[in-house]
Structure 1
Amino acid sequence: MLVAIDHVQLAAPFGSEDTLRSYYAGVLGMTEVPKPPALAARGGCWFEAGSVRLHLGIQHGFRPAEKAHPGLRVRDIEAYAARLAAQGAEVTWDDGLPGHRRFFCEDPVGNRLEFLEPAPQAAQLLR
Structure 2
Amino acid sequence: MDPSPSRFVALHHVQLAMPRGEESAARRFWRDLLGMTELAKPPVLAARGGCWFRGGGVEVHLGVEEPFAPALKAHPGLLVEGLHELAARLAGAGHRVRWDADFPGHERCYVDDPFGNRLEFLEALS
What TM-score do the two structures reach when normalised by structure 1? 0.91
Match of 1:56 among 59, 62, 82: 62
Q: Using the alignment, how far apart are the partners of 1:109 and 1:57 within structure 2?
A: 12
- The amino acid across from 1:48 in the alignment is R
Q: Using the alignment, how far apart are the partners of 2:91 and 2:79 within structure 1?
A: 17
Equivalenced residue count is 120
What TM-score do the two structures reach when normalised by structure 2? 0.92
Cα deviation digits, residues 82-104 of structure 1 (max 9, x gap): 11111221111011111110000
Give the drift of 1:14. Answer: 0.9
SS at match of 1:54: strand
**Structure 1 vs Structure 2 CA RMSD:** 0.8
Q: Using the alignment, how far apart are the partners of 1:50 and 1:65 within structure 2?
A: 24
% identical aligned pairs: 55
Cα deviation digits, residues 27-65 of structure 1 (max 9, x gap): 111111110111100000000001100000000111012
**5 Å matches for 1:3-18?**
3-18=9-24
Per residue, is there more helix in 1 or in 2? 1
Runs of 4+ deviating beyond 2 Å:
none
Give the drift of 1:4. Answer: 0.6
